Structure 1
C-alpha cells in the first residue's frame, strides 16, 4: 500500500514537472514579429540583420522575421491592414495616408532616415550643377516615385520655373538607363539607389551628380519604422523591445559598417559586397548619422521640424483631414536619450 502511494506521488510529481517545464517553455518562447522593409535586402537594411545576428532581438524575447517590401509608399497599407505589424516606410507618405485614412492610426515609432534620400540625379555631360539648371531640360520621373512627390516643394524652394522643365513619366526599371543613354537630362530617385544603378550602366562615379533635396531647402524626414495601431495597443512592450533592439543594430552599423554589411550579404548572396557596402556608407553619411542624430540620439524627431515638414508637404498635396505631428509620430516607445546615442 505504501509503495502504491509512493508510486502515485512520483507520478504526480512527474506530471507537475512536465507541466511546469511546458509552462516555462511557453513563457520563455520568443514572440514572433514580422517586419517589412521598403525594398530589397541592400546595404541600408543592415541594422535589422545586425540586430538579428548579434542576438539583440533574441535578448528582448523576439523572433523577428524580415521581409522585402514593395517600395517606401505602398507598404504602409500592409501595416494598416495588419499584414505586417511593423514596417519601414516613408513618413511623408504616412502623412498623406493618415489624411486619406483618418480612421487608420498607423504611427511612426522610430525615425531611421533623419534626412530623406530624395534626390535629383544627373550626369556630367548635361552641365546641370544646380536646381535652376533644370530649366529647359527633360526630367525623367516615375509618377509614384517618392522623390518626385516632392517636386513642387523643390521647385518652390529653389525658384525654378516649372513651366520650363519637361517632365517625362518613366518606369522605375528604365529610369537610370534612360539617363545613361541621354534620353533624359536628369531623374528623380533615391540617392543611394540611382547613384549605384548608374554605375552599373557604365557611368563613372565622378560623372554622377546627386542633388539631395535636403541640401536644397526641403526639411522633410525620410523613412521610419511604423506600427499597426491594434498591434501597438495590444503589445506595447513588444513594440518598445523591438525599437530598443533595432537602435542597438543601428548603433553597431554606424560604428562598423564594414562588419555590418556581412549580415546583409548572408541574405543576398547575389549582391556585390563592395557596392552594398558603399551604398550603406552613403546612407549612413547622408541619411542616418546626421549631425542632429549625433547630437540627440537615434530614433527621435524634432517636433517643430516635423510640423514644418507637414507644411512643406502641403505645397505638393491638398489636405482634407490634415494630420498633426503627433498623429504620425510618437516617441513613447523610444528608450532614454542616453541609450540612443552613438557609443
Structure 2
C-alpha cells in the first residue's frame, strides 16, 4: 500500500488540502529515485556540455602549408574539431624553435614538430615545458636524397662529397649520429647550410652532391630535377626516432586535460581521412591555402602513408630507446611525452 490520503487546512481559506502520507518503504524509493535523477542531470551537463561554447586554441603546423600538414585542415573542414567542441586557429609554423617559442609564449597551445629535434632542444634545456601527445609519423622522415646520376647509392658513398641541408635543421643536427651508425666519418662530408626552399634547386643544378631533407619531398625533387632520385632514409640506422609529433604545453595537460584529450581524438581523425583520401585532402588544403599546390600535396600524403601507422601511437620504450640514440642530455621519456593519450589503447582517433 502506497500510503494514506488525509484532508487538511491549507491556510488560505476553508478549502481542504490533500496530504499524502507515504508508506516508509515507498517514501525511501521515491527519495532514491529523485536523487538518482538529480545526479544524472548534473552528470550529463558536466560531461556532454551540449550548450557549452567551443574551446578556442591555436595550432602551429610543422612547416608552412604542405601535404604532411594537410590533416589539420581536413580535421577542421570535416567537423572533427567541432564535434570535440574545439575551434582551431591554424597558424603556419616555421620549424621547431619558432613553434616551441609560440608554445612558450602561449601564442599556440598545440603544434607539430620534429620529435628528435625537439628532444635535442629539451636535452640542452632550451625548451622543456612541452610534451608530445600524439605521433604523426612513426619514424623519422629525415633522409639523404640525391639524383641517380651522382652514383651515390649508400651512405659511405658520401665521403668527400657536399651535402646541402637547411641551416640548423634537424637534418643537420642528426647527420653526425646517422653517419657514424652507417660507417661514415661525418668529418669526411662537407655540410652546406642553406634555406629550406633552396635545397631542390641546388640538387637539380648539381651544385651539391646530395641534400638532407624529409623524404616526403622526393616527388618535388624529381619534378624539379627531371631525374630519378635515390633516397637514403636516416631511419635505416636511427630506428627508434619518431618523425613529426603533435605537442602541447605541459601546463595545459595539468590544467585542462579534457581539452588535450579532445584534441588528440579529433586531430588523428583528420589524419586518418587524409591518408584514405589524398586528393580530397589536398584540395581542402588548397582551398584554405591557395599556394599549396595540389599535386605536390598529394605526393607528400601518398609518401607518408607507410610511416603513419599505428595512427597517433606513442610507445614509451621506443621513446626511451630513441633518447638513448640521440644521447639527449639524460632525458627520460616522460620529460618529453605524455603516453596517456595515444599509448596504444584505441580511442576514437588514435589506433
Please classify the TM superposition score into its range, dividing by the shorter chain length: 0.7 to 0.9
Instruction: Work out the number of aligned pairs and report it.
Output: 303
Q: CA deviation at 1:270?
A: 3.2
More helix, by proportion: 1
> Is 2:124 the partner of 1:100?
yes
- Alignment-derived partner of residue 263 in structure 2: 242
Residue 46 (structure 2) pairs with residue 46 (structure 1): no
Q: How far apart, CA to CA, are the structure 2 residues paired with 1:41 and 1:89?
A: 13
- Say whether 1:226 aligns with 2:239: no
* Structure 2 counterpart of 1:37: 61
Q: Which structure is larger by alpha-carbon Rg, 1 or 2? A: 2
Q: Which has the higher strand share?
A: 2
Using the TM superposition, give the Cα deviation of residue 217 of structure 1 relative to its aligned residue in structure 2, in angstroms.
4.0
Residues 171 and 212 of structure 2 are in contact (CA less than 8 Å); yes or no, is this contact kept in structure 1?
yes
Partner SS for 2:145: strand
Counterpart of 2:336? 328
- Structure 2 match to 1:274: 295
SS at match of 1:337: coil
**How far is the alpha carbon of 1:187 from its aligned partner?**
1.1
Residue deviations 1:249-278, cap 9 Å, x none? 122222222322222121122332122111
Shift of 1:235: 1.4
Give the 3-state SS of the residue equivalent to 2:245 in structure 1. strand
Q: Is the 8 A contact 2:84 2:262 kept in 1?
A: yes
Matches of 1:335 and 1:310, distance apart in 2: 17
Asked if 1:338 corresponds to 2:351, the answer is no
Query: What RMSD, in angstroms, separates the aligned Cα atoms of the two structures?
Result: 2.4
Q: Deviations over 1:201-232 (max 9, x none)?
A: 3433xx21111111244421111111112222
Kept in 2, the 8 Å contact 1:38–1:87? The answer is yes
User: Under a length normalisation based on structure 1, what TM-score does the superposition of the two structures give?
Assistant: 0.81
CA distance in 1, matches of 2:101, 2:258: 23
| Unpaired segments ≥5 residues, structure 1 | 1-24
> What corresponds to 1:313 in structure 2?
326
Number of the residue aligned with 1:129: 153
| Runs of 4+ residues over 6 Å off in structure 1 | none
- Kept in 1: contact 2:313–2:344 (CA 8 A): no
Flag structure 2 segments of 5+ consecutive residues without an equivalent: 1-48
Q: State which of 307, 313, 320 in structure 2 corresponds to 1:300.
A: 313
Alignment CA distance shift 1:335-1:104 (3 Å): closer
Structure 2-normalised TM-score?
0.79
Q: Is the 8 A contact 1:73 1:93 kept in 2?
A: no
Q: Which position in structure 2 is the counterpart of 1:115?
A: 139
